[in-house]
Amino acid sequence: MGLFETFKIPVREFMNYFHALECGYREIPYHNRIHATDVLHAVWYLSTQPIPGLPTVINDHGSASDSDSDSGITHGHLGYVLSKTYSPGDDSYGCLAGNIPSLELMALYVAAAMHDYDHPGRTNAFLVATSAPQAVLYNDRSVLENHHAAAAWNLFMSRPEYNFLVNLDHVEFKHFRFLVIEAILATDLKKHFDFVAKFNAKVNDDVGIDWTNENDRLLVCQMCIKLADINGPAKCKDLHLRWTKGIVNEFYEQGDEETSLGLPISPFMDRSAPQLANLQESFISHIVGPLCNSYDSAGLMPGKWVDDNDESGDTDEQEEEDAAEMDTCENPESRKKRRKIYCQITQHLLENHQMWKKVIEEEERTAGIEKPTLEQPALHQPSEQIESIKEEEEEKGKPKGEEESTALETSQ
């Protein structure tokens, strides 16, 4: 993409640091170096692949036309870089990297690599409940996310041979570090609904996303890494199930430790009472689905235009019907005016959501003799009802909302 050339990154120092960073990820079922690599790949994909209808505000990708530079960064490093794999075919496509200056884009990628560094395989709630050193250090607030950022930067600064940013000047380095930290802290799911609400408000206001505004671009990057961090349900079925196996095994390990410590077992973490389908269906309905819909409604999701006679559009009617169940922010009128778009991410998400709903229905049918299906309405509420309940619980701190947030926290 030209980042090495733009910032004169020394290869030896770069390899030294990222090898050490990789080695600092623990051998645990989910939050390991493979997850970090997966999130890095996801932000690369979301930022480099063609996006139907995205306007590109930069006429010349080698230079910046914005002048918001409150950060004090020189215009030379406010330039833009595009992936060599980016080949939109026509000007009806855009690319996120075409609207994000190269320093901010590099910060997004570095944040993805750092974002779960030295993850212990336990949730924030567990660390707080057990008064872990990290929880005490960070006053019980975004404990893991603060630890990941601080530990990764501590590693970077520990040896001069790790300094791949040696050619950034003082102002650029400070701003770069700020952007990386902000992106990592955004992955705390306890702040999830606040981020989604803020993003929806920005997308739906009179101006929308202002690509010349640094704060707007930061919010987009935060949404991008959040989506990348919880992209498991948006993968094909086989990969989704493999990641699901990893997270439930990590959950069960925490449940085992909670039992040994005499603590209540957290929701979904009791291996003697598995609730895999409920966990994933709830995670998609309450967390991943609304996030994807928000990101898509902003016109930021990679995909392709679908012609009326295109076979890949055969699933559009079912896709729109299913998406309505998880839709939380898109104006119905604006949807009608949009050309049809095929997006592999949302297609996989919808297919996996339907799969888990069918599993739940089958489980309820099997257990129907002993247990009436009284819980079914709670599992399949209309999306508007789910969204309003979810936001109220997050704001008012109702027990059910707190329980869900705790249970789903390490699905990042």
Where on the phi/psi map is residue 121: left (φ > 0), alpha (ψ -120 to 50), or beta? left
To the query of whether residue 31 is one of the catalytic residues in this protein, the response is: yes
DSSP state of 53: T
Distance CA 219, CA 198 (A): 9
Where on the phi/psi map is residue 184: left (φ > 0), alpha (ψ -120 to 50), or beta? alpha
Distance CA 80, CA 2 (A): 9
Residue of 19, 31, 77, 148 with catalytic role: 31
Q: Quote the Cα angle for 131-244-236, to 5°.
A: 145
DSSP H or E segment with residue 403: helix 399-408
Distance CA 185, CA 180 (A): 9
Other Cβ atoms within 10 Å of 258 Cβ, number: 19
Q: In angstroms, what CA-CA distances link 124 with 117, 138, 142, 266, 383?
A: 14, 11, 7, 12, 28
Residue whose C-alpha is closest to residue 186's, from 129, 103, 136, 111: 111
Q: Which residues are catalytic?
A: 31
